[in-house]
Amino acid sequence: MSLSRRQFGTAISAAAITAAYGRPGWAQAPLVIKLSHVVAADTPKGKGSIKFKELAEQYTGGKAKVEVYQNSTLYKDKEEVEALQLGAVQLLAPSTAKFAPLGAKEFEALDLPFLFANDDQYAKVLGGDVGKYLFSKLESKGITGLGFWDNGFHMITSNKPVITPADLQGLKVRISGSKIADQYFRLCGAIPQILAFSEVYQSMQTGVVDAGENTPSNVLTQKFYEVQKHITIAQHAHLQYAVIANSKFWSGLPPDMKAPLEKAMAEATAYTNDIARKENIDALAEMKKFGKNEFHVLDDAQRKVLRTAMQPTYTWAEGRVGKEVLDILAKATAV
Ligand code: LMR
């Protein structure tokens, strides 16, 4: 990948700052930290990123300057992880469905259908051993995991009603990258297609795809509701992000920068996870008010039918993500 000047920018590495500390003039230069993401500002991740920027700049007394690039303005889905490894961007918050290119397929286990019973269980599982285990898988890749940010359960958007697995038969469904999602939609007879987030609206508008899965805040802010007639509250899978840093950058931070940045990240993480549920409830209410869509809320029996159709994904997943992560997840979700 070749990086444009804008993408590489003039970010000063932590090592350079460390080396320059004490030198007149240089010591005053703020440390530029680029945080790139693909969603709109008015979403849990968008707001969490801004919160981190505010807190980081405040806690470092202006010694750090955080540049937030939202809505794929700096990188699209696939480019961003490569840019992080190259050190062209210091922080990212990709959905865990997009971690396979980093060599950490285990993250895709979080996409298993009907994995989490509810928001509380999700938070408990990611806050415990599962979260620690997944972050340990990043260490050898030059990536440091800093926190998990929530964005709630997926809905299915489509150009025809989707109530039963049979309704998905033959539908071209946009997925974001996970082979687990590919598998559970295939089991329903759909034709999954991986597309970058920034390409979804147009692909739905022009019929390149017939359907997609996403959370209310993403469907609202990307205006997918304009180009999809039906919205099914299926809650069949969960969308979460792992906030990650380039390890060389993060571990090279001088102590007087690292501590305030860690504090800023911990607080931004708590804030994001606190607002995620309400952001999605509000987004759904807003779309209902627009009156452009037909909403279908799956009842328990309908969810059970979908769950049964998608269930073989669990056996299939062993070959993709490995037994270890599946066992850890099974244990964590059993309580
Ligand atoms: C998607 O591609 O649908 C999501 O991963 C976008 C996001 O970051 O929420």
Whether the predicted pLDDT of 5 surpasses 60: no
Q: Are 270 and 147 in contact (CB under 8 A)?
A: no
Which residue shows structure tokens 């805040």?
A: 217
Bridge partners of residue 230, in order along the sequence? 158, 294
Q: Per-residue pLDDT tens for 222-231?
A: 999 999 999 9
Closest among 220, 44, 303, 256 to 148, alpha carbons compared: 44
Q: Per-residue pLDDT tens for 185-199?
A: 999 999 999 999 999
Query: CB-hemisphere CA count at 13 Å for 227?
Result: 19
SS3 content of the chain, % helix, strand, coil (to 5): 50, 20, 30
Span from the CA of 140 to the centroid of ligand 1 (angstroms): 25
Mutate to test the pocket of ligand 1, among 81, 148, 153, 197 (most ligand atoms within 8 A of CB): 197
**Cα–Cα distance measured from residue 160 to residue 169, given in angstroms and rounded to the nearest whole number:** 11
Question: Looking at this protein, which amino acid is placed at residue 81?
Answer: V
H or E segment and range at residue 255: helix 255-290
| Domain boundaries of the chain, sorted by first residue | 5-100+119-150+241-276, 155-237+282-333
The domains spanning 5-100+119-150+241-276 and 155-237+282-333 adopt the same CATH topology: yes
Q: State which CATH number among 2.40.50.140, 3.30.420.40, 3.40.50.620, 3.40.190.170 fits the domain covering 155-237+282-333.
A: 3.40.190.170
Predicted model pTM: 0.92
**pLDDT score, position 9:** 44
Give the three-class secondary structure for 35.
strand
Average pLDDT taken over every residue of the chain: 93
**Whether CATH 3.40.190.170 fits 5-100+119-150+241-276:** yes
Span from the CA of 95 to the centroid of ligand 1 (angstroms): 6
Which residue shows structure tokens 């599962």?
A: 130
**pLDDT score, position 25:** 46
Which atom belonging to ligand 1 lies closest to the Cα atom of 37?
8
**pLDDT score, position 335:** 79
% the chain with pLDDT above 70: 92
Structure-token pair, residue 222: 């990307």
Atom 5 of ligand 1, nearest CA residue = 95
**pLDDT score, position 44:** 98
**Cα–Cα distance measured from residue 74 to residue 59, given in angstroms and rounded to the nearest whole number:** 26
Least confident of 7-16, 137-146, 294-303, 312-321: 7-16
**Cα–Cα distance measured from residue 329 to residue 156, given in angstroms and rounded to the nearest whole number:** 24
**Cα–Cα distance measured from residue 8 to residue 1, given in angstroms and rounded to the nearest whole number:** 12
Whether the predicted pLDDT of 19 surpasses 70: no
Q: Per-residue pLDDT tens for 111-163?
A: 999 999 999 999 999 999 999 999 999 999 999 999 999 999 999 999 999 99
**pLDDT score, position 211:** 98
Residues in contact with ligand 1 by the CB-under-6-Å rule are: 38-39, 95, 151, 176, 197, 214, 218, 239
Q: Per-residue pLDDT tens for 22-75?
A: 444 445 789 999 999 999 999 999 999 999 999 999 999 999 999 999 999 999
Give the three-class secondary structure for 244.
strand
